[in-house]
Amino acid sequence: MKVLVLNSGSSSVKFKVFDVNGGSQVIAKGSVERIGLTGSRIQCACCETDWKLCQRQAVFAKSNGLVAVPDHGAAIDAICKTLLCSDCGVISDITEIVGIGHRVVHGGEEFTGSVIIDDDVLAGIRKCSRLAPLHNPPALEGIEACEKIFSGIPQVAVFDTAFHHTIPPQAYRYPVPKSMYTEYGVRKYGFHGTSHHYVALEAAKLLGQPLKDLRLITCHLGNGSSITAVDHGKSVETSMGLTPLGGVMMGTRCGDMDPYIPLFMIKEMGMTADEVDRTLNKQSGFEGVCGHADVRDCEALAAKGDPDAQLALEMFAYRVARFTGSYAMVMNGVDAIVFTGGIGERGAEMRSRILKQAGYLGVAIDEEKNARNERDISQDHATVRVLVIPTDEELMIARETARLVTGDGAANRSERVAETV
């Protein structure tokens, strides 16, 4: 049983095909990049050729895989033809795909679990686009393109916000006039939920305990970062808020700060709202502090003595530590701290920076295990385990898609993502 998973961005579509019979094997993966731009590229890991002109369907150009992909419809069509390509052999007919799973960033309060997509769901996703104007519209374009190209094949929406629907009101409400919440939906929603849920499930397996018996702090650290308190299987607090701008500092995002600063930028610095948006989302974080958004570049500069790079690393570690410590109090303790994402999975030095003052919690890192990025990097006597678990959001989406299209779960808007521990 084959499931296609799509992650549609503003100028790209990433895809994976899973065989979910008796497991969840990836049988193809790739992406379409630079949609609507010159130099569009299709990449697919299942092809052994160097993206030569496909003889069955003229999808690829002969020059290094460069193709013209004007919109998401053309991108989805190219993916379909790629999977049918005789060089790939992933599928011989599109009916071999039993379901298509889409990552959708924002589900608002309307979607608290994964759902089979119909007209009402499309309308709901479109309504939530005002809360995620950069993310939901590309997902809608991908869904609508699949309706035409994979006609009749069920599609499933899996929401980044769904796992966080269990956060209680005292955590998700902001202390602003109630009408801002009731009329405009201004509240904390949280993001990276599929990733946080996946690594929480994997942590439970690694620890040999049911997820419902554990208190976990999951740290998804990358160009975008968020921290979540998972209390007995449920998200009860998370660092991102109404949008992915909140929480810890990130590659180019500022994270939490004095809420008057945007007003100061407008009133005193003469910026427009769009300029404030661009500054806080694209020119802040690591980029703003030291001029480099990639933490690897910052670490290289810091090693050479660059003071701004050193400060940026300390600022990031401090903020992650601050959230982590507070979440231990939220849950009245913690059993394990889980690192995932590009920085979380491979950043041994950063993990040490973050946890250098966590001994009071019962944390004790084995630096040799940490340097090797082992799954459990704790010293034997540590009472709080520190785990490094690679995330796999696409696998979670594939599982949810298979579950819903085979009838193993009710397809309704109020259903939570299943916790299959």
Residue with tokens 């003229």: 58
CA distance 301 to 38: 33
* Of 130, 179, 135, 178, the residue nearest 157 (C-alpha): 135
The CA-atom distances, in angstroms, between 314 and each of 93, 178, 218 are 53, 37, 20
CA distance 377 to 180: 44
CA distance 365 to 382: 8
CA distance 376 to 368: 11
**Rounded to 10 degrees, what is the CA torsion of 253, 258, 259, 262?**
-60
Return all residues near 146 (Cβ < 8 A) that are at least 6 apart: 6, 76, 100, 102, 153, 155
Among this protein's residues, is 160 annotated catalytic?
yes
CA geometry: angle 151, 2, 141, nearest 5 deg: 40
- 87: buried, middle or exposed (CB in 10 Å: 19+, 13-18, 0-12)? middle
Strand, helix or coil for residue 16: strand
CA geometry: angle 228, 224, 344, nearest 5 deg: 65
The continuous run of DSSP H or E covering 19 comes out as: strand 13-19
CA distance 9 to 316: 26
* Of 117, 196, 104, the residue nearest 158 (C-alpha): 104
Strand, helix or coil for residue 241: coil
CA distance 342 to 345: 5
Residue of 77, 93, 160, 376 marked catalytic: 160
Report CA 387 to chain centroid distance, whole Å.
19
User: Which residues are designated catalytic?
Assistant: 160
